[in-house]
């Protein structure tokens, strides 16, 4: 087996606990039997069993098993509910040398039969109430076991060493078949004996609330029996009633307990003082609810509250973190640090450690790592690898958890999601845990679970099942607003309020049951439709596109989570069904079926307001934005940057940080916390290969929303930042190819007004604004224009802007505001890039921009549109970033605009030549007229084609039967005199035009990263 070498960073390896002299589980148990025979070992509401009696009954059963020829490590099933008999069976099986296989009597016969046959189980320990007649194997009824005559003792298999396979536990499998995990005794011993993360004593009472088939039961039972403490078995009906549960904990003087996150949330929300008498409470199993933890910490916490993490394959717990106060969970709850005799690593896909803050794959090693999966060599090969780790003489086996994680600078491991919970929504990779985390952060919910719905009728979408803290006072709009302020649109789930979340036998959220109940409800047949009535036709289309039979005539498309792809389908289907043209603007103006029907009916009677009049009205600079009286300084120590989480923003942030005179870059980021904002920035640079460890101390990430007053900062922080900051780079913009101007107004127009207000607050700060050459719209449409100069007035282009995209319209308005600010004396400059392509050196590009979508979409169709005399100003992102930085370093370059386009117009490429380059690069595309190409795209119209969401823009005729894209014929030359003069001394990087080598570099990068096949 291939081996890898790992060097420790000092936080990867847990403490070494004192060895147990290689004793096995039974030997360690018997030490307490001999030392304190009358001490309680198991306590239930009906009975108490001391250590002597427990050992005697287990010994009797062990002799019975040995008489039935139980061989070394032979799997023996335990088909019993939680209780004294279950624990006796475990002891007896180990005493006789076998391996315990706990099974749940509540499972269906077919599943139990599969488990028994999979392990070739011959002996099943059960009782009269739990027995099943149709199961394979010999069933031994405990009622029929009689103590042996005399003082006969079992054969001394209990001398088994710590590598003895003590338990086989089943976990869920990816193909619907449970996997059998082989646990060794040493994993249990390292979990509960001589540990540093949790302390046991003989006076402890350890609650047993887990099903014995769940790995947490190993902590409960053996944590008590190997330390001379007592197991307190609390019935399930008591556990699920928070008030009864709290009473039972106090009644039985429970001092140590593990509880799953789902159950903890339920109890803590209902009865937060339930845990106040506990010495140690461990919480884990799922993502922790920070708000619930804080509630317990602030009300009546246990003496020790510990967050724990670990898969079954690593024997219950691998990482732990004690939470002392609410301040410690002010942000994300850590997974923790490795527990005793355990190690943890965050590795990349080449099995090499990653730097702090970088997300990678979480691996666990140490004595808790299971032997493997029973009889599944391929699965074992994928999940268990051998590594040579620093400080260890022998190679170690590490388990690949399938979880994503990263390490803080203090070494603490942080959760970042699961690989198998990474789903694709509208082309974006989404972590379900991140959405659940944000839901719980609202403190409006006691529990939440997010699932993906896959339907043959519609594209996949997210559904959030939520349990409000105060159901009678809860409004879904509150939580929806909370999420909208923190997550991008594609991560917003539909909300379904439920009374509670069902739990599995192991205490985790039962997502399968949630989905089954939802899909059963969603399969209800919608009411009959009047196909002659426009309202009914539109409603039927919306229900099919959104996969929502319950949707009504007055429901809002966007409040139901409608996205660009679904908007494209709605517009297309409504237009086809009604036999008329329907635009996306119609959908935004009338976002319910009833409104849309009325709007379409009265289109001619009441024409919509002139878009040019709206833009003209919005382009008046408010009088409060006036220049500051202080002089302009040359200092560049502290820079404010917006848009750093974008594509150009990543490269520009890298270039800023490489400047010796830039001490600190303050980035405004939409996120839930400053820590999350910082992580997003780091990940953004990493995905393009730009991150350097030296950047770490010079980036400050602030949670912000530039569309909000004071940039969504508190007044003190806002004023302090305005005084600190030396200059501003405003790169942030909302860009959507089909949304109208109204959808871009807040982020782009209001956002820029707020940035201008910040620029004149505190002290004079130059503003460098990144616009676009699209600000001129289809410049040659209404009157011939052969060349556009950088200083040209934008006003003459307004008439043509009514046919431009909503994004371009917003940029026209923003630039009008910017130039009025310049006339008032505010120091600024404007930069208008052409179409920004990938890095000319690495090939790293933006997989979601228009050209990337166009390339992937045309390859999928096997065809390209013929577009005559359509120039495109392709400019590599590293060149744009370098030019922006170089020009902005000289204050003499203020008060001007700069076209960041190919320096020589001959270097521009039209689309037909670009498609020919694609042919030369190995992607032969059939040239079709635009109409034919569009018809092929409309016939395809699959969620897999990245052009499908752009169909409204690509297909809607906006002027003389031509679409927006077709209007950009005979485009003028964008004169770049200012740019060329200002960059004369810029030697690197050189401008590289779009040609065969550069396009191959881009394509190779996309193939290497899986963006293109």
867 assigned to some structural domain = no
Residues 572 and 490 occupy one common structural domain: no
Residues 654 and 744 occupy one common structural domain: yes
**For residue 490, what are its two tokens?**
């594609």
- pTM more than 0.75: no
Residues 675 and 820 occupy one common structural domain: yes
Domain boundary among 141, 162, 183: 183
The answer, yes or no, to whether residue 176 has pLDDT greater than 70, is: no
- pLDDT recorded at residue 2: 45
868 assigned to some structural domain = no
Q: Report the helix count and the strand count for the chain, using DSSP H and E.
A: 33, 44
Domain boundary among 399, 419, 439: 419
367 assigned to some structural domain = yes
Where in the sequence is the domain holding 448, given as residue range(s)? Answer: 423-522
Residue with the bigger pLDDT between 683 and 49: it is: 49
- pLDDT recorded at residue 655: 96
The answer, yes or no, to whether residue 601 has pLDDT greater than 50, is: yes
The answer, yes or no, to whether residue 151 has pLDDT greater than 60, is: no
The answer, yes or no, to whether residue 530 has pLDDT greater than 90, is: no
- pLDDT recorded at residue 421: 64
The answer, yes or no, to whether residue 629 has pLDDT greater than 90, is: no
pLDDT tens sequence across 512-521: 888 888 877 7
At 175, the pLDDT band (50, 70, 90 cuts) reads very low
- How far apart are alpha carbons 409 and 845 in whole angstroms? 30
CB within 8 Å of 334: residues ≥ 6 apart: 307, 321, 408, 412, 413, 414, 415
- pLDDT recorded at residue 482: 86
107 assigned to some structural domain = yes
Q: What's the rounded mean pLDDT across residues 398-426?
A: 81
Find the CATH number of the domain harbouring 605: 1.10.1200.10
The answer, yes or no, to whether residue 528 has pLDDT greater than 70, is: no
Residues 354 and 462 occupy one common structural domain: no
**For residue 891, what are its two tokens?**
């204050």
pLDDT tens sequence across 319-356: 999 998 877 776 778 999 999 999 999 998 888 888 88
Phi first, then psi: give them for residue 100, nearest 5 degrees: -80, 135
Q: What's the rounded mean pLDDT across residues 116-141?
A: 92
Residues 510 and 539 occupy one common structural domain: no
> Could you give the 3-state DSSP secondary structure of residue 416?
strand
Residue from 32, 34, 43, 29 nearest 205 by CA:
43
Find the CATH number of the domain harbouring 804: 3.40.50.720
* 133-137, 269-273, 973-977 — most confident range: 973-977
Residues 814 and 692 occupy one common structural domain: yes
The answer, yes or no, to whether residue 38 has pLDDT greater than 90, is: yes
- pLDDT recorded at residue 506: 72
Domain boundary among 522, 548, 571: 522
Kind plus residue range of the DSSP H or E element containing 364: strand 360-366
Cα–Cα separations (whole angstroms), residue 615 to 103, 619, 800, 812, 885:
69, 6, 12, 8, 31
pLDDT tens sequence across 471-484: 888 988 889 888 87
- pLDDT recorded at residue 1: 38
Residues 644 and 601 occupy one common structural domain: no
- How far apart are alpha carbons 242 and 950 in whole angstroms? 51
- pLDDT recorded at residue 30: 94
The answer, yes or no, to whether residue 41 has pLDDT greater than 80, is: yes
Least confident of 259-263, 391-395, 438-442, 855-859: 391-395
- How far apart are alpha carbons 265 and 483 in whole angstroms? 20
Asked whether the bond before 989 is cis by omega within 30 degrees of 0, the reply is yes
The answer, yes or no, to whether residue 88 has pLDDT greater than 60, is: yes
Residue with the bigger pLDDT between 65 and 242: it is: 65
Residues 573 and 678 occupy one common structural domain: no
Residues 399 and 505 occupy one common structural domain: no
* 279-283, 396-400, 781-785 — most confident range: 279-283
Residues 681 and 716 occupy one common structural domain: yes
- pLDDT recorded at residue 544: 83
Question: Is the Cβ–Cβ distance between 221 and 227 less than 8 Å?
Answer: no
> Could you give the 3-state DSSP secondary structure of residue 119?
coil
- Number of structural domains in the chain: 5
- pLDDT recorded at residue 663: 93
Residue with the bigger pLDDT between 113 and 505: it is: 113
- pLDDT recorded at residue 527: 46
pLDDT tens sequence across 231-245: 999 998 888 788 889
At 547, the pLDDT band (50, 70, 90 cuts) reads confident
The answer, yes or no, to whether residue 525 has pLDDT greater than 60, is: no
207 assigned to some structural domain = no
Average confidence score pLDDT of the chain: 87
938 assigned to some structural domain = no
Q: What's the rounded mean pLDDT across residues 607-626?
A: 87
pLDDT tens sequence across 955-990: 888 888 888 888 888 889 999 999 999 999 888 899
């Amino acid at each position: 087996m291939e081996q890898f070498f790992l060097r420790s960073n000092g936080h990867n390896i847990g403490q070494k606990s004192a060895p147990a002299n290689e004793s096995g589980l039974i030997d360690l148990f018997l030490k307490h039997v001999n030392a304190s025979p009358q001490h309680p070992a198991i306590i239930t509401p009906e009975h108490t069993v001391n250590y002597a009696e427990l050992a005697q009954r287990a010994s009797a059963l062990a002799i019975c098993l040995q008489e039935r020829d139980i061989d070394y490590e032979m799997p023996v099933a335990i088909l019993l509910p939680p209780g004294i008999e279950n624990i006796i069976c475990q002891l007896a099986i180990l005493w006789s040398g076998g391996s315990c296989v706990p099974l749940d009597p509540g499972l269906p016969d077919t599943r139990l039969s599969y488990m028994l046959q999979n392990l070739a189980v011959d002996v099943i320990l059960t009782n009269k109430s739990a027995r099943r007649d149709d199961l394979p194997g010999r069933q031994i009824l405990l009622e029929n076991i009689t103590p042996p005559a005399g003082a006969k003792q079992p054969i001394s298999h209990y001398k088994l060493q710590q590598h003895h396979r003590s338990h086989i536990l089943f976990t869920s499998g990816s193909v619907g078949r449970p996997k059998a995990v082989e646990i060794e005794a040493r994993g249990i011993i390292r979990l509960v004996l001589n540990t540093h993360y949790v302390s046991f004593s003989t006076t402890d009472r350890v609650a047993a609330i887990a099903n014995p088939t769940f790995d947490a039961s190993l902590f409960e039972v053996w944590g008590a029996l190997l330390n001379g403490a007592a197991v307190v078995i609390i019935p399930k009906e008591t556990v699920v009633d928070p008030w009864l549960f709290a009473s039972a904990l106090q009644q039985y003087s429970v001092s140590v307990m593990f509880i799953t996150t789902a159950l903890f949330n339920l109890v803590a929300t209902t009865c937060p003082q339930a845990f106040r008498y506990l010495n140690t409470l461990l919480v884990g199993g799922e993502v922790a609810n920070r708000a619930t933890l804080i509630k317990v910490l602030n009300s009546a916490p246990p003496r020790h509250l510990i967050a724990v993490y670990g898969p079954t394959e690593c024997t219950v717990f691998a990482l732990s973190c004690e939470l002392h106060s609410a301040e410690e969970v002010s942000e994300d709850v850590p997974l923790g640090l490795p527990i005793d005799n355990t190690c943890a690593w965050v590795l990349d896909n080449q099995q090499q450690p990653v730097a702090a803050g970088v997300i990678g794959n979480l691996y666990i090693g140490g004595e808790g790592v299971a032997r493997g999966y029973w009889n599944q060599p391929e699965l074992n090969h994928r999940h268990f690898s051998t590594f040579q780790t620093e400080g260890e003489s022998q190679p170690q086996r590490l388990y690949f958890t399938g979880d994503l994680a990263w390490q803080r600078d203090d070494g603490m491991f942080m959760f970042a999601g699961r690989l198998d919970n990474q789903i694709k929504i509208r082309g974006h990779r989404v972590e379900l845990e991140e959405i659940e985390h944000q839901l719980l952060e609202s403190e409006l919910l006691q529990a939440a679970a997010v699932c993906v719905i896959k339907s043959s009728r519609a594209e996949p979408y997210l559904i959030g099942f939520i349990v409000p803290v105060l159901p009678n006072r809860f409004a879904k709009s509150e939580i929806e607003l909370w999420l909208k302020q923190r997550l991008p649109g594609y991560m917003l789930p539909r909300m379904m309020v439920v009374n509670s979340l069902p739990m599995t036998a192991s205490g985790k959220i039962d997502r399968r049951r949630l989905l089954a109940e939802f899909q059963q409800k969603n399969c209800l047949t919608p009411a009959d439709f009047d196909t002659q009535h426009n309202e009914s036709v539109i409603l039927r289309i919306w229900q099919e596109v959104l996969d929502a039979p319950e949707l009504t005539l007055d429901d809002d498309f966007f409040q139901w989570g409608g996205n660009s792809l679904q908007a494209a389908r709605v517009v297309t289907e409504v237009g086809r069904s009604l036999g008329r043209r329907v635009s996306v603007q119609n959908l935004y103006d009338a976002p319910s079926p009833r409104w849309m029907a009325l709007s379409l009916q009265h289109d001619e009677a009441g024409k919509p307001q002139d878009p040019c009049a709206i833009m003209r009205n919005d382009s008046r600079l408010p009088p409060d934005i006036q220049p500051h009286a202080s002089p302009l300084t040359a200092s560049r120590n502290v820079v404010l940057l917006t848009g750093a989480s974008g594509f150009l923003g990543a490269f520009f942030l890298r270039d800023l940080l490489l400047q010796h005179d830039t001490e600190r870059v303050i980035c405004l980021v939409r996120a839930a916390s400053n820590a999350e904002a910082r992580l997003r920035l780091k990940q953004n640079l990493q995905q393009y290969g730009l991150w350097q460890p030296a950047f770490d101390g010079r980036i400050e990430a602030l949670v912000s929303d530039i569309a909000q007053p004071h940039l969504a900062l508190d007044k003190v922080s806002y004023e302090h930042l305005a005084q600190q900051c030396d200059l501003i780079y405003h790169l942030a913009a909302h860009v959507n190819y089909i949304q109208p101007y109204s959808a871009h107004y807040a982020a782009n127009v209001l956002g820029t007004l707020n940035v201008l207000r910040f620029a004149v607050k505190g002290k004079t700060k130059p503003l460098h604004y990144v616009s676009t050459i699209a600000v001129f719209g289809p410049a040659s449409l209404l009157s011939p224009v052969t060349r556009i100069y950088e200083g040209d007035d934008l006003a003459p282009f307004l008439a043509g802007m009514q046919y431009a995209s909503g994004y371009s319209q917003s940029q026209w308005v923003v630039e009008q505001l910017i130039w009025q600010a310049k006339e008032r004396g505010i120091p600024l400059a404007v930069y208008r890039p052409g179409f920004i392509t990938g890095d000319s050196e690495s090939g790293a590009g933006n997989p979601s921009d228009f050209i990337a979508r166009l390339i992937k979409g045309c390859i999928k169709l096997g065809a390209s549109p013929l577009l005559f005399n359509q120039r495109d100003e392709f400019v590599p992102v590293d060149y744009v970033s370098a030019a922006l930085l170089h020009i902005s370093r000289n204050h003499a370059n203020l008060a001007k605009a700069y076209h960041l386009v190919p320096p020589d117009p001959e270097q521009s490429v039209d689309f037909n030549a670009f498609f020919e380059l694609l042919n030369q690069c190995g992607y032969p595309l059939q040239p079709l007229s635009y109409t034919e190409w569009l018809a092929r795209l409309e016939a395809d119209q699959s969620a897999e084609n990245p052009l499908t969401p752009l169909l409204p823009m690509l297909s809607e005729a906006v002027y003389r039967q031509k679409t927006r894209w077709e209007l950009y014929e005979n485009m003028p030359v964008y004169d770049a005199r200012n740019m060329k003069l200002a960059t004369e001394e810029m030697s690197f990087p050189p401008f590289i035009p779009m040609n065969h080598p550069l396009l191959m570099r881009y394509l190779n990068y996309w193939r290497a990263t899986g963006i293109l096949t």
